[in-house]
Amino acid sequence: MRHLGRWRTSWPAWLIVTSYVLVVGLTQCRPTVAGGGLDMVLAGARQRGSVRVAVDYGVLPFTGLRDGVSYGYDIELARAIAAELGLTAEFVASGPDSIYDDLAARRADMALSALPYAPELSWRTRYSQPYLDIGLTLLVRHDATWRGFASSHPQRIGVVLGSDGDTYLRRPTLVAPALTRVTYEDAYAASVALADGRLDAVLVDRITAVAAAARDPRLAIDTMVTEDLVAVALAPEATQLAAEVDRALGQLRRTGRLAALEARWFRD
């Protein structure tokens, strides 16, 4: 009976201690406001000392493979992001049809291969903030004669036949009363015609525009016409890793390293 009486006397204290342990445990394991708890993807990367990056090789100038060595804009960006996280980048060969499956199956922690930012796919992947816009861009001469699509002044604009720029200019809703569309077999021919004064502008993707402007000092980039954002893809549960990637991208943008990567890989 003495033992029973002692248990009855001490059980409130035991209940308080047990409740405290349960509350602490649930607090540590409960989901965060962002919708995730402990990020096992980031935890695994830190344990290995490397972040596994799925890439679709051959998406130049973003990803390439030469003699077993990875190279390209996204390759260098992945290494820079990993360094900001105190990790190294480990590349995992993937493909356009399997890159998101590799994230879901934990074969990779994140993916970079000029992947379009597509919020409608949020059910299967989590995106970083966009780090590049490769949409349609107007290329003009430094002594620009381009006056805008809606100008009543006669103008000639070059596009590559069948390209996104060509499709854009064929839109029935485009207001361009005095615009003449001139088609070319490739962007190089269009940029030469522009530099020689036979065109007022050329409509191409941003990468092509940057390369053309770097190749010929008479040319300059004018304005973005459409938006085509590129982002890092991660597994939906990689909440903390996504936040760290965003932080790293912000730092790389502030220090000018993103601009330096663009200059290195898009102006060649």
We report the CATH number of the domain holding residue 48 as 3.40.190.10
Q: Is the pLDDT score of 164 beyond 80? A: yes
- With left for phi above 0 and alpha for psi between -120 and 50, is residue 135 left, alpha or beta? beta
Number of domains, the chain: 2
- Indicate if 237 and 129 belong to the same structural domain: yes
CA distance 234 to 230: 13
- Indicate if 46 and 124 belong to the same structural domain: yes
Q: Where are the alpha helices (DSSP H) in the chain?
A: 2-29, 40-48, 73-84, 99-104, 164-169, 187-195, 206-215, 239-254, 257-266
CA distance 126 to 267: 30
Q: Is 29 inside a domain boundary?
A: no
Higher pLDDT, 69 or 27: 69
Question: How would you list the strands of the sheet with 50-55, edge to edge?
Answer: 88-93, 50-55, 110-111, 233-234, 126-127
Q: Is 20 inside a domain boundary?
A: no
Mean pLDDT, to the nearest integer, of 205-232? Answer: 95
Q: What is the pLDDT of residue 38?
A: 79
> pLDDT of 79-131, one tens digit each?
999 999 999 999 999 998 899 999 999 999 999 999 999 988 888 899 999 99
Q: Is the pLDDT score of 33 beyond 80? A: no
Q: Is 158 inside a domain boundary?
A: yes
